[in-house]
Amino acid sequence: MFTEDDARRRDAADPGHRDLFHIPPATGGDHPDVAYFAGNSLGLQPKATRAELLDDLGDWARLGVEGHLEAGRPWLPYHELLTDTAARLVGALPSEAVVMNSLTINLHLLMVSFYRPAGDRTRIVIEDSAFPSDSYAVRSQAVFHRLDPDRTVVRLQPRPGEDTLRTADVVDYLRAEGDRVALVLLGGVNYLTGELLDIRTITEAGRAAGAIVGWDLAHAAGNVPLRLHDWGVDFAAWCSYKYLNSGPGALAGAYVHERHHGDPTLARFEGWWSTEPATRFDMTPVSRPPASADAWQISNPPIFAMGPVRTSLQIFDKVGMAALRERSERLTGYLEQLLDEILPGRPVSVVTPRDPVRRGCQLSLRIATSAAGGTGSGAHALTARLRQEHGVIADAREPDIVRLAPVPLYSTYHDCWRAAQALAATLPAKGGDDV
């Protein structure tokens, strides 16, 4: 049986980087701070963010418009300060990555270039459990091209009785129907189940079928190691407010493989920041886009929104995704062991793959919809009790999924122990009473 002392010993031997982050105080339970498992929705604030953001604000107060060139971090090329670290994070060349906009806007801008239905090749392939925003985006792209979204968008489903997609089934579909597929756009890590898809294998299968392959990396960037360039991914986009800890609604990232740079056949929306920096102030009426992902930019970047992204990317650059992935597997594996100990006999099951290779730092639990007790029922009722009674913050997706994300940067083994104890105390054992 796992004990609290055991969890404390593990934390002493494998401490992570919790000291770099603000941990919210608990409003319930017996501990001063929350056990935070919602980093897959919103990451915690790095302690360095406030001071560095205030530095940028200070330059505005001190310099006014001259801050574009004279600030400590000059605003005109500010986005370039994020390029190398963002590229390393996703396994891209510096010319292939850019921080800009928000996730769904970036997906739309990229689909302007890379979704080009023609003849029988019109389909867009997504997973049936894709995040709703992705579903809305691809359907609207189909409508924009005057296609029927119900016929154009193919939603791949798990096998009956299963919760996650099998790579072999995705590959088999692309082999059988690939000549009708224009675009494959899947989530690298599924937001609902926590499943990590085999990005390399699916990309190879999609491209072999003649399709463009893009990825939504909202739950993958900062969670799992990525090698987008080496895997041959055509394009990708990700947000930075989840595992990248850059603040609510933070700026997102985009990736375009270098083979597409400078391609004059690609349609692309343009604006002032789409042109070569050296000629930007020539004020010419025709853009001169650089042969890089920067060509997909449109507007000048919001400086005070870029600062928190830069701060967070520096943390990832210093710690390294390989080290974080190793700790993630240890921490998530420990939480899984704890759940294996307390869940038998309770109305709950884990839907995330048990193989560490097939998941990120998330375990999704399916709760019997009447098991939460208290006011109401279902996932939200359970997470409310976990927070109010035990100081454990988890994430609910109705009707019956509770997501626990032990983030390797700041989560602890003791957090995992607290979460397991809270679930044991909150969920009734079979044939017993709720407590």
The CB density around residue 340, as the number of other CB atoms within 10 Å, is 13
State in Å, rounded, how far the first CA of the chain is from the last one.
Answer: 21
Contacts of 218 (CB under 8 A, 6+ apart): 103, 131, 187, 191, 238, 239, 242
Mean pLDDT of the 24-33 span: 90
For residues 396-415, one letter each, b for 16 or more C-beta atoms within 10 angstroms of the residue's C-beta and e for the rest, the string is bbeebbbbbbbbbbbbbbbb
CA-based nearest residue to 342, from 414, 275, 288, 423: 423
Domain 4-45+321-426 sits in CATH at 3.90.1150.10
- Are 246 and 219 spatial neighbours (Cβ–Cβ below 8 Å)? no
**pLDDT band at 2; cut points 50, 70, 90:** confident
Q: How far apart are CA 44 and CA 315, in angstroms?
A: 13
Report the pLDDT value the prediction gives residue 433, as an integer from 0 to 100. 43
User: What's the average model confidence in pLDDT over 187-206?
Assistant: 98
Dist CA 421 CA 301 (whole Å): 45
CA 120 – CA 138 distance, rounded (Å): 17
Give the per-residue pLDDT at 30.
87
Amino acid type, 395: D
Q: DSSP class of residue 100?
A: E
Helix 103-114 with 132-144: angle, nearest 10 deg? 30
pLDDT in tens, 110-167: 999 999 999 999 999 999 999 999 999 999 999 999 999 999 999 999 999 999 999 9
Confidence class for position 188, pLDDT limits 50, 70, 90 = very high
pLDDT tens-digit readout, 375-434: 445 899 999 999 999 999 999 999 999 999 999 999 999 999 999 999 999 998 865 444
pLDDT in tens, 353-366: 999 999 999 999 99
- Give the pLDDT confidence score for residue 4 in this predicted structure: 96
- Number of Cβ within 10 Å of residue 157's Cβ equals 11
Question: Residue 160 burial by CB count (10 A; 0-12/13-18/19+): exposed, middle or buried?
Answer: exposed
Q: State residue 429's pLDDT score.
A: 81
Residue 109's nearest CA partner among 242, 248, 298, 343 is 298
Instruction: Tell me the C-alpha distance between 51 and 47, whole Å.
Output: 8
3-state SS string for 249-318: CCCEEEEECHHHCCCCCCCCCCCHHHCCHHHHHHCCCCCCCCCCHHHHCCCCCCHHHHHHHHHHHHHHHH
Residues 312-326 have a mean pLDDT of 97
CATH of the domain spanning 77-319, picked from 3.30.1540.20, 3.20.20.140, 3.40.640.10, 3.40.50.300: 3.40.640.10
Identify the band that residue 343 occupies on the pLDDT scale cut at 50, 70 and 90: confident
Please compute the mean of the pLDDT values over residues 176-183 and round it to a whole number. 98
pLDDT mean across residues, the chain: 95
pLDDT tens-digit map of 65-113: 999 999 999 999 999 999 999 999 999 999 999 999 999 999 999 999 9
Distance CA 203, CA 368 (A): 36
CA-to-CA distance for 241 and 236, rounded, in angstroms? 16
Residue 374 has pLDDT above 60, yes or no: no
Q: Extract the tokens encoding 188.
A: 């690298």
Distance between CA atoms of 272 and 416, rounded to whole angstroms? 48
Distance, CA of 134 to CA of 126 (rounded, Å) = 8
Residue 340 has pLDDT above 80, yes or no: yes
Structure confidence at residue 386 (pLDDT): 96
Residues with Cβ within 8 Å of residue 41, at least 6 apart in sequence: 242, 395
pLDDT at position 28 is 79
pLDDT value for 116 = 97
> Cα separation of 347 and 344, whole Å?
8
Q: What are phi and psi of 41, to 5 degrees?
A: -110, -45
In the prediction, which pLDDT does 377 show?
57
Res 53 pLDDT > 70: yes
SS3 category, 33: strand
List the domain boundaries for the chain. Answer: 4-45+321-426, 77-319
pLDDT in tens, 230-269: 999 999 999 999 999 999 999 999 999 999 999 999 999 9
